Amino acid sequence: MAYIVTLTLNPTVDKSTIVDKIVPDHKLRCDAPKFEPGGGGINVSRALKRLGQDSLAIFPASGPAGTLLQHLLTQEAIDQHPITTINWTRENFIVVDASTNQQYRFGMPGREIASDEQNLILETLQTLHPVPDFLVVSGSLPPGLEPEFLVKVLHMAQANNTKVIVDTSGPALERLVQEGVYLIKPNIGELSRMVGVSELDSEAVGEAAQGLIRAGKCEIIVVSMGPQGACLITKDTVDHVPAPTVKRRSTVGAGDSMVAGMLYGLATGRSMREVVRMGVACGTAATMNPGTELFKRTDAEKLYRWLVDIMPKDKALS
C-alpha cells in the first residue's frame, strides 16, 4: 500500500459548542464543548483513516493545545510526528446558534515557527524512511513563514520522486505552481488568478487548467466548484462531476475530505475517473454532518457508488 505523509504547518485544536440563541451582552449558556484536531493536512490524515488508509501526519506543536492535539490524534489512531516549537499551538472556536442553525467560526491566528524549527521540519521530511509515495501539503501558512519554505519542501520531495499534492491558497499556491507539482485543488477564483484573468465561468475552466498543465505547472488539476461538484483536468481530458444532492449541515472539512478521497483513490490504483468521484463523494459526505465532524465512511461509499453508476462508462479515464 502507498506510503502517504501529510504536512500541516498551521495546525489547530477546534473547540465547538452549541447555544440556544446568540444574543449580544448576555451570558450565553453553552453545551459541553467538543474538541477535534484541525488543520488541512491533519484533516486529510483523519479522513484517510476513515477510509482504511494509514498516513503519517507531520506538524509543529507546543503548549497545552499542542499536547491536546497529539492526544486527540492518538485517540483516532493517527500516526504522527509532532515537531516541538516554542510558540504554542493555536485554537479555533466554533459556535452553532440552535435557533437558526447558523454556524459562527472564529479562527485564531497561527504562531510563528522559528528558523531552527523550520530546519527541523525539513530535516524530518528529508530523513523519512521509506520515502513517501505522496506528500500532501495542505492548509494555511502561519505568520512569518514565506512560500519559499514550501518551495524547499517541494524540491526535496521531487528529488525523491515523491508526488506532491497541494491544497493551499494565495501566494503559497501560486508560488508552488510555478515550480510544478503533481496535483492541485483550486477553486474557480484561485484558478482565475493563476491564469491571470478576472474570472472564469464553468465552460472556460477546462481550457484554463489545461494551459497550466501544458506549461508544466502540474499534472492534474481538480477544480472545486462547491455545490456544482468538481472538474478533473488532465492534459487531454476534462471530466465534470456533479455533486450529489444531500441535506447539507456544515461545509467544514469538506475540502480536506475531498483531497483525502482522491488520495485514497490514487493510493489504491483506481482510474482517474474513479479518483475524482471518490473525492466528490467524500467531500459531499462531509457536508452531511454538523459542526467540524468529517464524513462517515458508509455515506461516502454510498455516494461514490451513485456517482460511478450515473456517469456514462465511455467517459472513463485511464
d(CA 259, CA 257): 5
d(CA 255, CA 120): 28
Three-class DSSP category at 45: helix
User: Active-site residue among 239, 256, 299, 309?
Assistant: 256
Give one DSSP letter per residue of 47-67, joined into a string: HHHHTT---EEEEEE-HHHHH
What's the DSSP call for residue 86?
A: S
C-alpha cell of 221?
A: 488539476
Three-class DSSP category at 203: coil
Beta-strand pair 56-61/79-84: parallel
Chain centroid offset of residue 10 CA: 12
**Catalytic-residue membership of 256:** yes
Task: Report in angstroms the alpha-carbon separations of 206 from 4, 31, 317.
Answer: 28, 46, 15
d(CA 223, CA 271): 18
Catalytic center residues: 256
